[in-house]
Amino acid sequence: MKRTEPRFVVCVKNKDYAASLDLRKLYQVVADGAAAKLGQIRVIDESGEDYLYPEEYFVPVQLPHSAERAVRRAASAK
């Protein structure tokens, strides 16, 4: 099955959000079709909660399945 939306993104810009987003950090995406229509993306940020940010602040990445499982396990262990 082909993925239609990225599950993870890398932060490439954090202007006005330096406390919430770390540059070059991997973030998990939470699907939000309404936000996408407005040029926003919902990610789980440094607070551990999901918030909307400008899409242009991120680049989608495709992780190997083993890496994706490891990242999800690490996130749930926090």
pLDDT over 50 at 1, yes or no: no
pLDDT for res 4: 52
pLDDT over 60 at 54, yes or no: yes
Looking at residue 16, the DSSP 8-state letter turns out to be: T
Instruction: Say how far apart CA 41 and CA 69 lie, in whole Å.
Output: 22
> pTM for this one?
0.83
Which pair of tokens denotes residue 46? Answer: 């440094």
Does the CA dihedral 49-26-24-54 come out positive or negative? negative
Instruction: Say how far apart CA 12 and CA 54 lie, in whole Å.
Output: 11
Instruction: Say how far apart CA 17 and CA 14 lie, in whole Å.
Output: 5
Tell me the domains of the chain and their CATH numbers.
8-76 (2.30.30)
